[in-house]
């Protein structure tokens, strides 16, 4: 384990924060973090965790890669599942709903990938466009919270909340063994050098967006389980929280550095911060101030520039 961590020094901060926050949370609220209620607790966090994992691949791919449509896509998945699939078509079987949700994610990811990598529109603008588009469709389908969901989806926020996370973790473990993963890191660390090494840079970046869409769709399904209905207003906030989580986890927004553990730790930190502060009944405004402060401090502490300065100090 130490050697594994040694190569990932960017994780230290998020890991340290995680340990401290977890201890604080367990001390404040032992019941919530008891083994019996772990399913529900993970269910509360899984939407954010999956949103953070989804945000990671385009960022890893570098050159300003980012997908800010993650949150709105989760919202779209939510209303499509509840209003169209469950209420409209009467589909309740996971064997139909899950593939359709994944398909929606793939299509959305492919659309973002097409815009951002093939047509080379600035990723932030391209995914801003798709996110506004999704948010609009979502509100058209369900203008205000409504509907109910089948039991198995609700269970995704309860007893079986670990299943979607485990599925995504398995997917990531598989991806890590494919040439694609190495190529993604290379493209993110230096796209010109990657190109002269014969890597199909555009294709690799495109696939990063597809992966993002796929994971965000799973996140949308988990969110649906958590809120138990169709709500067009909730998912939008996930985008910025997810990107904060990724940055907090030490993933370099310049690309080439990061991974699943970083995204999960970052998201878990934000979630634990949230639960600890809500325990004290802190207002949501204060919550935001704390998020902002923690994020800024964390990113500053993780900055390469700061490390360089400190190192120079030490040597001088």
Site membership for another protein, residue 196 (CB under 8 A): yes
Least distance to another protein from the beta carbon of 112, Å?
Answer: 22
Residue numbers 137-156 binding another protein by CB under 8 A: none
Distance between CA atoms of residues 191 and 186, nearest Å: 7
Site membership for another protein, residue 266 (CB under 8 A): no
Stretch that binds another protein, among 22-30, 47-55, 116-124, 188-196 (CB under 8 A): 188-196
Q: 3-class SS at 198? A: coil
Site membership for another protein, residue 257 (CB under 8 A): yes
Distance between CA atoms of residues 5 and 38, nearest Å: 26
246: nearest Cα among 270, 226, 223, 222: 270
Site membership for another protein, residue 192 (CB under 8 A): yes
**Closer by beta carbon to another protein, 59 or else 272:** 59
Stretch that binds another protein, among 42-50, 163-171, 198-206, 210-218 (CB under 8 A): 198-206
Long-range contacts of 111-115 (CB under 8 A, 24+ apart): 111/213, 112/58, 112/67, 112/69, 112/209, 112/212, 112/213, 113/205, 113/206, 113/207, 113/208, 113/209, 113/210, 114/206
Distance between CA atoms of residues 248 and 273, nearest Å: 12
**Closer by beta carbon to another protein, 152 or else 195:** 195
Site string for another protein, 157-186 (x = CB under 8 A): --------------------xxx--xx-xx
Strands annotated E in 143-251: none
Distance between CA atoms of residues 100 and 264, nearest Å: 25
Site membership for another protein, residue 289 (CB under 8 A): no
Site membership for another protein, residue 9 (CB under 8 A): no
For binding to another protein (CB under 8 A), which residues are involved? 7, 177-179, 182-183, 185-186, 189-190, 192-201, 256-257
């Amino acid at each position: 384990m130490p050697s594994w961590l040694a190569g990932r020094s960017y994780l230290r901060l998020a890991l340290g924060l995680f340990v401290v926050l977890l201890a604080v949370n367990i001390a404040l609220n032992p019941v919530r973090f008891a083994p019996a209620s772990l399913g529900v607790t993970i269910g509360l966090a899984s939407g954010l965790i999956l949103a953070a994992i989804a945000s990671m691949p385009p960022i890893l791919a570098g050159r300003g890669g980012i997908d800010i449509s993650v949150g709105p896509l989760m919202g779209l998945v939510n209303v499509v599942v509840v209003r169209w699939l469950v209420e409209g078509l009467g589909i309740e079987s996971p064997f139909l709903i899950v593939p359709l949700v994944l398909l929606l994610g793939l299509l959305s990811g492919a659309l973002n990938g097409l815009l951002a990598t093939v047509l080379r529109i600035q990723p932030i603008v391209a995914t801003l466009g798709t996110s506004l588009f999704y948010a609009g469709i979502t509100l058209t389908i369900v203008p205000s919270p409504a509907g109910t969901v089948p039991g198995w989806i609700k269970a995704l926020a309860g007893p079986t909340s670990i299943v979607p996370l485990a599925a995504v973790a398995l997917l990531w473990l598989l991806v890590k063994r494919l040439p694609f993963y190495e190529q993604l890191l290379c493209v993110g660390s230096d796209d010109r050098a990657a190109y002269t090494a014969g890597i199909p840079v555009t294709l690799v970046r495109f696939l990063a967006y597809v992966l993002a869409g796929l994971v965000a769709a799973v996140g949308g399904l988990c969110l649906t389980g958590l809120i138990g209905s169709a709500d067009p207003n909730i998912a939008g906030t996930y985008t910025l929280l997810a990107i904060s989580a990724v940055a907090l986890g030490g993933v370099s927004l310049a690309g080439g550095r990061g991974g699943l553990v970083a995204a999960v730790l970052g998201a878990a930190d934000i979630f634990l911060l949230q639960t600890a502060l809500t325990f004290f009944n802190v207002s949501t405004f204060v919550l935001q101030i704390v998020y902002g402060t923690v994020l800024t401090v964390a990113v500053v502490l993780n900055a390469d520039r700061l490390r360089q300065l400190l190192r120079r100090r030490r040597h001088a």
